[in-house]
Structure 1
Amino acid sequence: MTTSRGLLFALPFSTFALLPSVSHSQEDTLEFVSGLNQGKIVHCDNSVDSGSFLDVFVCGDELFAFTYNALDGVGMNLGDGGRHSRVPRADLFNWANTIPRRKTGPNAAACSVCHTPSNIIGGGGNGGGAVVFNAIRDPLHSNQPGLFIQRNTTHLFGMAGLQLLAEEMTDALQQQVADTVAMVCESGIAQQSLLTAKGMEFGSVNVYPPCDSPQIDVQSQGVKDDLIIRPFQWKGSELNVRTFSRDAFHNELGMDPVELTGDDIDGDFDGVVNEITIDDITAMVIYLAAQPRPTSLLELDELRKTLLGRRYRDSGGPELAEGLMLPHLTTGERRAIKRGQRLFNSIDCSSCHKPSMTIEQQFVYSEPSDNPLYREQTFPAGQAGIEMIKAIRFDIRRDQPDNQIVLNGELISHLGAFETNRKGQVMVRLYGDLKLHDMGPELAENIDETGVGASVWMTKELWGVGSTAPYLHDGRASTLEEAILAHGGEAEASKLNYTRLSATNRQAILAFLENLVLYLPATVP
Structure 2
Amino acid sequence: MIGRLVYKSIYAASLVAITSLSTTASFAALLDQTKVDNSSAIYAPGGTISKSLIEQIGMGQGDEFTGASSIYLINRDPFRSIRRGRQLFQRKFSEDEGLGPRVNFDSTGDVTQSRGLGAGLTDSCSTCHGSPKGSAGFGGNVASFPDGRDAPHLFGLGLVEQLADEITMELRATRQQAIDRAAQRNQRVTLRLRAKGVDYGRITAEPDGTVDTSKVDGINSDLRVRPFFAEGRTASMREFVIGAFKDEMGMEAWDPILCEVTDPDNPRAMTSPSGFHYDPARDSFERPPVCADWEDGDNDAVTAEIDPALVDYMEFYLLNYFKPATGPGNPFAREGSRLMRSIGCTDCHTQQMRVSRDRRVADVETKHDAEQGIFNALFAEANALFSTIEDGDTYPKLVPNGDEFIVNNFFSDLKRHDLGPAFHERDYDGTIRTEFMTEPLWGVGSTAPYGHDGRSINLDQVIRRHGGEAEDSKRRYVRLRFEDQLKIREFLNTLVLFPPDDTASNLNPGNPGSNDPQDPANHGNIALPALYQIHEYGPE
Q: TM-score, normalised by structure 2?
A: 0.65
1:201-280 pair list within 5 angstroms: 201-210=199-208, 214-218=209-213, 219-259=215-255, 260-262=288-290, 263=292, 264-280=294-310
CA distance in 1, matches of 2:349, 2:211: 31
Distance 2:424 2:144 in 1: 16
- Show the 5 A alignment for 1:347-358: 347-358=343-354
| 1:193 alignment partner AA | L
Residues 327 and 494 in structure 2, CA contact (< 8 A), matched pair in contact too: yes
User: Do the aligned partners of residues 294 and 402 (structure 1) sit closer, same or farther apart at CA in structure 2, a change above 3 Å counting?
Assistant: closer
**C-alpha deviation, 1:497, in angstroms:** 0.7
Selected match of 1:48 from 70, 78, 87: 70
Structure 1 residues 228, 209: closer, same or farther in 2, change over 3 A?
same
What amino acid maps onto 2:92 in structure 1?
T
**Equivalent residue number for residue 414 of structure 1:** 381
Contact 1:295 1:415 in 2 (8 A): no
What is the alpha-carbon distance in structure 1 between the residues aligned to residue 463 and residue 249 of structure 2? Answer: 32
User: Aligned partners of 2:487, 2:438: CA distance in 1, in Å?
Assistant: 22
| Maintained 8 Å contact 2:352/2:406 | no
Alignment match, 1:125: 135
Query: What does the per-residue CA deviation read over 1:194-246, in whole Å, with 9 as the maximum and x for residues that have no partner?
Result: 11111222111111122xxx211112101111111112221121101111111
Letter in 2 for 1:472: G
Deviation at 1:149? Answer: 5.2
Q: Which amino acid in structure 1 is aligned with residue 490 of structure 2? A: A
1:435, 1:358 → 2: CA distance? 16
Q: Are 1:92 and 2:71 counterparts?
A: no
**Letter paired with 1:69:** S
Equivalent residue letter for 2:381: H
1:377-410: CA deviations, max 9, x gaps?
xxxxxxxxxxxxxxxxx33xx356999x999xxx
Residue number among 46, 63, 70 corresponding to 2:95 in the alignment: 70
Count of matched residue pairs: 382
Q: State the partner residue of 1:116.
A: 130
In the TM superposition, residue 40 of structure 1 has moved relative to its aligned partner by: 5.7
Q: CA deviation at 1:274?
A: 1.3
Match of 2:315 in 1: 285
- Does the CA-based 8 Å contact 2:354-2:407 persist in structure 1? yes
1:208/1:354 CA distance change after superposition, 3 Å:
same
SS of 1:362's equivalent in the other structure is: coil
Instruction: Look up the equivalent residue of 2:422 and give its one-letter code.
Output: E
| Structure 1 residue 425: Cα displacement | 4.2
SS in 1 for 2:501: coil
What is the alpha-carbon distance in structure 1 between the residues aligned to residue 128 and residue 404 of structure 2?
Answer: 36
Q: Which position in structure 2 is the counterpart of 1:432?
A: 412
Structure 1, unmatched stretches of 5+, are 1-33, 81-90, 139-147, 299-332, 365-393
Rounded to whole Å, the distance in 1 between the matches of 2:92 and 2:483 is 46
Q: 1:510 to 1:40 in 2, by over 3 A?
A: same
CA distance 1:254–1:78, shift in 2 (3 Å)? closer
Which residue identity lines up with residue 363 of structure 1 in the other structure? Answer: D
Task: Name the amino acid aligned to 2:142.
Answer: A
Matches within 5 A, 1:408-487: 414=381, 425-447=405-427, 454-487=433-466
Matching residue of 1:136: 143
State the identity as a percent.
Answer: 30
In structure 2, stretches of 5+ residues that fail to align are 1-34, 38-50, 61-67, 256-287, 373-378, 386-402, 505-509, 511-540
Aligned residue among 58, 61, 79 for 2:86: 61
1:97 to 1:428, Cα distance in 2 relative to 1, 3 A: closer
**Residue 344 of structure 1, CA deviation:** 1.3
1:335 to 2:342 alignment: no
1:517 equivalent in structure 2: 496
Equivalent residue letter for 2:222: D
Give the direction of change, closer, same or farther, for the CA distance of 1:233–1:169 in structure 2 (3 Å limit). same
- Residue 125 of structure 1 aligns to which amino acid in structure 2? S
8 Å contact from structure 2 (residues 416, 435) kept in 1: yes
Per-residue CA deviations over 1:363-390 (Å, capped at 9, x if unaligned) read 12xxxxxxxxxxxxxxxxxxxxxxxxxx
Q: Distance in 2 between matches of 1:344 and 1:415?
A: 30
Q: 1:489 corresponds to which residue?
A: 468
Cα displacement string for residues 232-287 of structure 1 (whole angstroms, at most 9, x for unaligned residues): 22112110111111111111121111232222222222221111122211110111
Asked whether the equivalents of residues 226 and 233 of structure 2 are also in contact (C-alpha less than 8 Å), the reply is yes
Distance 2:500 2:474 in 1: 35
Distance in 2, Cα, partners of 1:167 & 1:265? 32
CA distance in 2, matches of 1:170, 1:79: 36
SS of 1:429's partner is coil
**SS of the residue 1:154 aligns to:** coil
Q: What one-letter code is carried by the residue in structure 1 that aligns with 2:315? A: V
Shift of 1:94: 6.1
CA, structure 1 residues 206+492, in 2 after alignment: closer, same or farther (shift >3 Å)?
same
Equivalent AA in structure 2 for residue 117 of structure 1: S
Give the corresponding residue for 1:163. Answer: 161
Shift of 1:447: 3.6
Work out the CA distance in 1 between the residues paired with 2:494 and 2:323.
14
Q: Describe the shift of the 1:152–1:102 C-alpha distance in structure 2 as closer, same or farther (beyond 3 A).
A: closer
Of 469-478 and 263-272, more deviation after overlay is shown by 263-272
Match of 1:144 in 2: none
What is the SS of the residue equivalent to 1:457?
strand
SS at match of 1:164: helix
